Structure 1
Amino acid sequence: MDFRNLIPWNRDRNVPVVRQREDDHPVFALHREMNRLFDDFFRGFDLPARFGSSFGASSGWPNIELNESDKEIRVVAELPGLEQKDVDVSLDNDVLTIRGEKKGSSTGAVYSERWQGTFQRSVQLSPDADPEKITADFRNGVLTVTIAKRPDAQTRVRRIPVNG
C-alpha cells in the first residue's frame, strides 16, 4: 500500500490527493461485512440490529420526547403499528417504564426489515414527580404520559447568582 494515499493532501498542500472510491477500498468492504455479520447474529435472538442500521442504534426503542415545565413532566413515545392493549406503562421509584410487544403480521416473507418482538424503555424522572397524579393517553400510535409535579417543587429550587 502506498502511504501517500493515507494523507489527504500532497506536499504542495493545496491539491488534494486522488483517492480510490470508498466502495472499492478493502477496509470499507471489511467494515460492511462485519456489520452484516453482527446484524445477522443479533437477528437470531429476535433483537433489533444494533450495528449496521439506524434502527436501535440510539439509546433504545421506542423513540421518546421528554418535556418538563413548572407544573408537569410529559413523556411522548412513538409506537407505530401498536394498539392500546399492546402497551404497558408503570412507575416505580421515580422510574417510568414503557413495555409492550409488537406482533408480526407478515408470514412467509422472503425478506423483511420490519421489526417485531417485545420492547422496554425506562426513563428516570426527577424527584419532583408526583406518582399519585399521572395519566397516560394513547392515540394514533403516540403514547403521551403526563406526570404532575408536587406543589412544593418550586419552593425547593434555589437559584444561585452567577458573578462575572
Structure 2
Amino acid sequence: MAIIRFTPFRSPFSDLSLLQNRLDSMFQDFEWSAEQNEALTTGNFVPPVDVYEDSQKVILKLEVPGIKQDDLDVRLEDQILTVKGDRKFEKEEKEENFHRIERRYGSFVRSFTVPQTVDTESVAADYNTGVLTITLNKKAEAKPKQVKIKVGSSSASEQAAKQVEAA
C-alpha cells in the first residue's frame, strides 16, 4: 500500500502547477535548429531503415529508390550519424494528367546515435539499386576475443608438483 503525504492547506490547482513545472523542465533543454524544424515540417518522405549488428560491424540499410546518389548526404559528427536526401517530383508529365500519386516526395533527415564501440574513422557508404548501405566497423577493443586452451600431456599444477618433488 502506498503512503500518501497529507497536506492540510493544499490548493486544488497545485497538482496542475506541479505538472506544468515538470513539463517545462522536460522541454527546457530541448532545442531545435532551424534546419531540423524545416525538415520536420516540409519532409513527407521518410525512408525505411534496417539496422543490424554483428561482432565486427553495425550496418544500416535505407530504402531510397528514385534518389540520385548526388542528392544524398551522409555525415557522422559527435557520435550522431545523419542521412539527408531529397526525392524530387519529376515535372515531365503535367499534374492534371495523373490519376493518382501515391509515391512520396520531398526532403528527409534521419539521425541515429552511434554506439561508443564504433570506430568513427572507418565508415563506408554504398548505394546500389535504390538501397543505401552504411557500414560502421567496430573498434578492435569492442570485438569479442576468444582465448584458446592448450591441450597438453600435463597441466601447470602437475608440473609445479613435479618441480617440488624434485627439490
TM-score where L is the length of structure 2: 0.55
1:1-164 mapped onto 2 (5 Å cutoff):
46-48=42-44, 61-106=46-91, 107-110=93-96, 111-154=100-143
Higher helix share: 2
Coordinate RMSD, CA, aligned: 2.1
Amino acid at match of 1:152: E
SS in 1 for 2:67: coil
Aligned residues between the structures: 101
Q: Cα 1:90–1:47, aligned 2, differ >3 Å: closer, same or farther? A: closer
2: CA distance, partners of 1:135 / 1:154: 18
**Partner deviation per Cα, 1:141-163 (whole Å, 9 max, x = no partner):** 100000100001147xxxxxxxx
**Partner deviation per Cα, 1:7-34 (whole Å, 9 max, x = no partner):** xxxxxxxxxxxxxxxxxxxxxxxxxxxx
2:123–2:134 Cα contact (<8 Å) kept: yes
**Partner deviation per Cα, 1:89-134 (whole Å, 9 max, x = no partner):** 0011111111011111045313533322111111112110111001
Amino acid at match of 1:128: T
**Partner deviation per Cα, 1:19-51 (whole Å, 9 max, x = no partner):** xxxxxxxxxxxxxxxxxxxxxxxxxx6442xxx
SS in 1 for 2:47: coil
TM superposition outliers: structure 1 runs of 4+ over 6 Å: none
TM-score where L is the length of structure 1: 0.56
1: CA distance, partners of 2:49 / 2:80: 14
2:72–2:83 Cα contact (<8 Å) kept: yes
Gaps in structure 1 of 5+ consecutive residues: 1-44, 49-55, 156-164
Q: Cα 1:112–1:46, aligned 2, differ >3 Å: closer, same or farther? A: farther
1: CA distance, partners of 2:57 / 2:115: 11
